[in-house]
A and B are shown apart, each in its own frame.
Chain A
Amino acid sequence: EVQLVESGGGLVQPGGSLRLSCAASGFTFNSHYMTWVRQAPGKGLESVAKIKPDGSEKYYADSVKGRFTMSRDNAKNLLYLQMNSLRAEDTGVYYCTREHWWRCDCWGQGVLVTVSS
């Protein structure tokens, strides 16, 4: 069974940092693009970062470019999102997803990030 389990969310002050993790299982992790998708409270979905299967290329939304860094450890089937200089507008649920031919076909349960003083 394909499973994605996020962790690392929580409450952080504006300007602070947080690192999200995603543990993948049930599929060949190193063969897939992976994407972080976030959802602000009561709002729609936004793709914020994507990484190639071998980790050689990463793509970021303009809203997080220069502040967020995505990485992966294919030996451990782990995905990361390092979030720095956090702002109130970064508040929301962050989902780890498997992206296959421009569709997110598997989603984690999501992890809540709250940026507030």
Chain B
Amino acid sequence: QSALTQPPSASESPGQSVTISCTGTSSDVGDYNYVSWYQQHPGKAPKLIIYEVTKRPSGVPDRFSGSKSGNTASLTVSGLQAEDEADYYCSSYAGSSNLVFGGGTKLTVL
């Protein structure tokens, strides 16, 4: 199973919004509403911030939102804050109990 495709980097100024894409295929992102997003700060474990495309776990700010269109999912971070600078990974169910991750996007808050 191939990894999902994410841009290696993204950047935006504090207070602005940024969207990170995650492109898969009709066998994973396009076929299931089981897309998740994770935030990882340097030296730390990833943290789940979006699941089932649009849902946020308790405690995750509503500045984080998710969406999907066809084979591409997206994570939008609004009102960027310095602490949002991190690596972001998407994942999707790909059938047959397979979970596939994206290559990650490094978000820089300018």
Contact = CB atoms under 8 A, between A and B. Distances in A.
A59 B48 contact: no
B52 to A, nearest CB: 7
Contact of B34 (A35, A43, A101): A101
Name the prevailing secondary structure of the A interface residues: strand
B46 A95 contact: yes
Interface residues of A, number: 20
Nearest to A52: B97
Interface in B54-92: 57, 89, 91-92
A45 B93 contact: no
**Which of the listed residues A45, A50, A95, A99 has the most CB atoms from chain B within 10 Å of its own CB?**
A45
Interface stretch (A16-24, A73-81, A84-92, A107-115): A107-115
Interface of B: 3, 32, 34, 36, 38, 45-48, 51-52, 57, 89, 91-93, 96-104
